[in-house]
Structure formats: structure tokens, C-alpha cells
């Protein structure tokens, strides 16, 4: 069983911004115990796209792909665009388990992090 | 000394998405020790705008405003758009301290949170 974590970020025209996401995936990979690979991809503007990200996981022999929408709020991208693309890909890979996690910003721990960050500089 | 924390989010066409940000500000306010007020505003699409958010803090007698760009990656919005708007506002309120925090996603703790979230569902 090969498990993949696939981070889906928005994508930016700034190459440094996209590099941040690859760096993040690399850092998670260095800590992750439950994943055999951690990949990054982008909803728009940057490459790899979501279909390309899923394909990369499959090429690396992933049998399970967990998708993490790396977004802060449940706007159109989180509610419609990403699920629609992921659903299309699921059809292509019917022998692979592709599941989506709740988007990053939905996590309640964020209130505490933001509070700590702000208090540190207050 | 009245301290304000002003969360700056992107803004969405989905009203629920913008409500999330107001809710976040309210939740931070309930935990924050160092701030007399916690407000939310949006770079684009939604209201209040950044100038309106700053004005609201000033109307509430803030003498110090700490701005938290609630973004995950350092794209154009974080590097250019927000600083440019904030710089214009600083000129209007020369008697008030307006400082920007590093954008949310720059915080190293994010790697651990993402890892924990993903591991929990792995």
C-alpha cells in the first residue's frame, strides 16, 4: 500500500510563491510517517496542475491519494473548482483511492495559531 | 493605548467564505489578551476593504494597528497589493502606529499542522 499526500495550492504568477509550496511539501515529507510520498500541485496558473499532480502520485505507485486543499476559506475554489477537477480524475483512476481532506483553513487550531502569532508581536 | 489586530483576507464572491473570516476575527478576539479589538477586512471583492478596516479601527480609538495578512503564500497580493494599500493608509493616519505582521503562511508551525491533519486522516 503506497500512500500519497497531495497538497493543492492556488498557484501564483510569482515563481517564489509556488516554490514555497514545493518546499512545504518537502518539509512535510521529511516529517510524515503515514505517507510514502508528499507531492504539490496547483489549481491554476502554475504547474503541475491537479490532474498532473494525481498522475505523478500514480506514476510513483500510489494506491491511495489524500488531497489537502491548501486554502484558508471555503470560497468557489474550495467548494466547486477543486472538487469538480478531483471528481473527473477519480473516474480515470477507478482502482485508486482518492480522498479529499477538509481544506486547511477549516481547522479550529488556526484561531490559536493566529492569536499566538499576533500576541507575539503585540 | 488601544491596540487593534486587523486580519486582511483575500475576499470571496461566496458570502459564507467572508463570514468565516468575520467569525475567525470574533474567535481571536475572545482569546486575545493584547488587543482591544480584532477586526477583519478584505483585499478585494468583499467589504470592508483594507482602508475601511483601518478606518474602523481608528473610529474605535485604536492608537496601534497590527495588520495580519491572512494568506498562505507570498504571491503578488502579499508582496505588492497589500503593502501598497497599507502604505497609502499610513500617510493618512500619521499619528497612529500601523504595522504589518509577516503573512500567515510564512509561519514554520504550518508544516507541523499540515502534517498532523494529514496523519489524522491517513
Residue A80 CB contacts under 8 Å (≥ 6 apart), including other chains? none
Alpha-carbon distance values, A51 to A82, A116, B34, B117 (Å): 11, 37, 45, 23
Q: What is the ipTM of this complex?
A: 0.80
For residue B99, list chain A residues with Cβ-Cβ distance below 8 A. Answer: 121
Stretch B72-78: mean pLDDT: 89
Q: Which residue of B has its CA nearest to A100?
A: B121
Give the predicted TM-score (pTM) of the model: 0.87
Q: Alpha-carbon distance A18 to A10, whole Å?
A: 9
Instruction: Map out the domains of chain A with their CATH numbers.
Output: 3-121 (3.40.50.1400)
Which residue carries 514555497 as its cell? A20
Q: pLDDT of A11-44, one tens digit each?
A: 998 898 999 999 999 999 998 888 999 999 999 9
Instruction: Give me the sign of the Cα torsion angle A58, A60, A62, A68.
Output: negative
Contact A117 B104 (CB under 8 A): yes
Q: Which of B17, B34, B74 sits opposite A73 (nearest CB)?
A: B17
Q: pLDDT of A86-119, one tens digit each?
A: 999 999 999 999 999 999 998 888 888 888 888 8
Q: Alpha-carbon distance A46 to B38, whole Å?
A: 34
For residue A119, list chain B residues with Cβ-Cβ distance below 8 A. Answer: 32-34
Phi, psi dihedral angles at A99 (to 5 degrees): -125, 145
For residue A122, list chain B residues with Cβ-Cβ distance below 8 A. Answer: 3, 5, 34-35, 66
Q: pLDDT of A36-77, one tens digit each?
A: 999 999 999 999 999 999 999 999 999 999 999 999 988 899
Amino acid at each position: 500500500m503506497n500512500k500519497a499526500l497531495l497538497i493543492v495550492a492556488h498557484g501564483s504568477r510569482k515563481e517564489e510563491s509556488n516554490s514555497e509550496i514545493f518546499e512545504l511539501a518537502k518539509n512535510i515529507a521529511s516529517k510524515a510517517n503515514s505517507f510514502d510520498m508528499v507531492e504539490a500541485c496547483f489549481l491554476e496558473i502554475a504547474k503541475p496542475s491537479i490532474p498532473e499532480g494525481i498522475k505523478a502520485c500514480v506514476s510513483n505507485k500510489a494506491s491511495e491519494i489524500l488531497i489537502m486543499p491548501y486554502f484558508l476559506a471555503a470560497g468557489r475554489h474550495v467548494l466547486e473548482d477543486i472538487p469538480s477537477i478531483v471528481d473527473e480524475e477519480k473516474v480515470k483512476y477507478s482502482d485508486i483511492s482518492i480522498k479529499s481532506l477538509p481544506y486547511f483553513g477549516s481547522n479550529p487550531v488556526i484561531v490559536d495559531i493566529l492569536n499566538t502569532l499576533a500576541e507575539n508581536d503585540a
